[in-house]
Amino acid sequence: MEEVRFCAWCGKIVNLKFHYCPWCGKNLFKREEPGVTVNKIVNKMSRLQTNDKLATLEKMENQLGDLEDEISAIIDEQVAKN
């Protein structure tokens, strides 16, 4: 199994054999304070989770709109019968 770590710059998973991150191109051996690296990774993960939540909410909003249209059509049909 390959040994991997997180890039201190972009937070993506990188093979330990690499000297430069294939995602952002930064030197993997240039060190930062650990707190800065952790904060970058946590912030990136939070943004990704927020994006996922927003996409889910948008999908739900579209589904609710479709349901409202179907309910309106059913009600209109029932009103027309009476």
Kindly report, residue by residue over 50-72, the tens digit of the pLDDT.
888 888 999 999 999 999 999 99
Query: pLDDT over 70 for what percent of the chain?
Result: 90
At 69 the pLDDT is 94
At 33 the pLDDT is 61
Residue 36 — pLDDT band, cuts 50, 70, 90?
Answer: low
At 58 the pLDDT is 92
Query: Are residues 5 and 13 in contact, defined by beta-carbon separation less than 8 angstroms?
Result: yes
Better-predicted residue by pLDDT, 13 or 48: 13
Distance (Å, whole) CA 82 – CA 69 = 20
pTM, whole model, 2 decimals?
Answer: 0.43
Query: Are residues 20 and 26 in contact, defined by beta-carbon separation less than 8 angstroms?
Result: yes
At 51 the pLDDT is 83
